[in-house]
């Protein structure tokens, strides 16, 4: 199997099916409808909560930072 064939196989295995896509779209529409039907104060609370979550997600993005190596504190052995 060539690299190109492997790429096609991997892509086919990881792509969501049409049914999965339809289910996610229906879920999104249901959530939007439910949000539209909320009382104004409930809707405002959810907007505030979403803002907090988005702010914390922004801080966590990117590669983790790795500090300098710790010094070797083991005593050296004499031969």
- According to the model, what pLDDT value does residue 63 have? 63
Our CA angle for 2, 4, 8, nearest 5°, is 115
pTM above 0.85, yes or no: no
Q: Residues 32-44: pLDDT tens digits? A: 999 899 999 999 9
Kindly indicate the confidence band of residue 69, based on its pLDDT and cuts at 50, 70 and 90. Answer: confident
Q: Residues 44, 45, 46, 49: is their CA dihedral positive or negative? A: positive
């Amino acid at each position: 199997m060539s690299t190109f064939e492997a790429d096609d196989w991997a892509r086919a295995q990881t792509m969501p099916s049409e049914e999965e896509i339809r289910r996610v779209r229906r879920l999104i529409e249901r959530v939007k409808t439910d949000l539209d039907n909320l009382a104004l104060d409930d809707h405002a609370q959810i907007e505030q909560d979403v803002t907090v979550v988005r702010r914390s997600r922004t801080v966590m993005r990117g590669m983790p930072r790795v500090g300098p190596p710790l010094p070797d504190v083991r005593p050296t052995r004499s031969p």
